[in-house]
Amino acid sequence: MTAPTPQVITSERQVLGSTPHVIAPEPYGAATLMPYVPAATPGPPPSPAPLTPTDHLVWARLSVLPGDFDGWLAGCLGISSDVSSQDVEAALERLLRASVLIRVRNAPTAARTANPSVPGPAAPPRFRLPAAARAVGLARVRAAGEEGVALRAFRMACAALAAEAQIAWQGPDRRIAVQLVETERHNLRAALARPPLDAADALTALDTAVSLWFRWAVCGRRREGRTHLGRLLRHCGDDTAVRARALWLAGWLAAQDHAHRTAESLLDRAARAAARHADADTLARVAHARGVLALRRADTGTAVAWLRRAADHTYQDAWYGPGPAYSQVLLAIALAASGPAGTPVPASGPWGMAAAVPLTPARTTQNETRSGPLPGPHCGLGPT
């Protein structure tokens, strides 16, 4: 019997078959050979597209910003009759590709919300102009005579930021307001510290300082707040309701700093100004501050009378300043020290004609109070 003849492999095609570019089967399957693609030839990266006149205009207007900013703030300064919001967004992208702008927050971060288990909306990226680019932009905006327009728009945008922050402070999670103010602290500080252009610009800055009352009175920045208020009050000589509120806030901060004489003087002026404008909310807050001063002097009877006046008030504008709950707590403390019957405030007290102004005015809709100069929430950091 003839033995089987061994098979001799003469070529790879006998093993691989007729399919080209395939490796012989392995325990985990077959791998396909990819065709060779030569690497790109080395060379300089393509240059960005040249900047347009709109890009240069947005660049110049953004140069008045002291620190980093987001697209909302850039739109507040860049949008005008000849530049739309879409133009500003496109200009930011081109300025970023041309390295005129630096992105300081690349990945979107979740904004804080009242419910920690629910993720907040993505916070937009933030940008910054390097020092050299800011110097070039400032020279251009000054040469064009638009620096004052840009500074006024910047201060109005900061007033809207401060108004949104104080509304968030009255919400369920005050950390939202703190986060917003901390993120925009450089811009807010510049809006308060830069010399105002005129009386109207100073009034906008004063309104910003009043809206940040919680930062000065609650977050431990009383001296900074008193400094800003004192300087801006000297620039705002007109008798306005905002000035009355600023006088009250300055007096309340002075009372917290144990500057009792200064506080009494400021509260007297605030009461007279609020009475002229029939601002019952400010009169109630003056009563609260006077109750605090009376408690400091251990005059519990007078403190009870002032605090009861503040606690019984129904606020028309509940966004700024301590609400009735604060007055009710201090009233309970004063009553515990003096008994339920407090000493009434004399009719010829320090308020004068302010005592005749009722503390409960006609109710108005909430949309009529404390609306910022710019509509809409800011960059998803508002209360949710």
pLDDT, average across residues 243-267: 94
pLDDT in tens, 131-167: 999 999 999 999 999 999 999 999 999 999 999 999 9
Q: Where are the beta strands (DSSP E) in 16-173?
A: 69-70, 102-105, 109-110, 122-123, 126-128
| Tokens coding 104 | 């300081």
pLDDT in tens, 183-192: 999 999 999 9
For residue 25, the model assigns a pLDDT of 41
pLDDT in tens, 182-238: 999 999 999 999 999 999 999 999 999 999 999 999 998 999 999 999 999 999 888
Q: How confident is the model at residue 264 (pLDDT cuts 50, 70, 90)?
A: very high
Instruction: Compare 79 and 351 and report the one with higher pLDDT.
Output: 79
Residue 35 has pLDDT above 90, yes or no: no
| Tokens coding 305 | 């009378």
The pLDDT > 90 percentage for the chain reads: 55
For residue 243, the model assigns a pLDDT of 95
pLDDT, average across residues 281-306: 92
List the single range of 214-228, 272-286, 342-356 with lowest mean pLDDT: 342-356
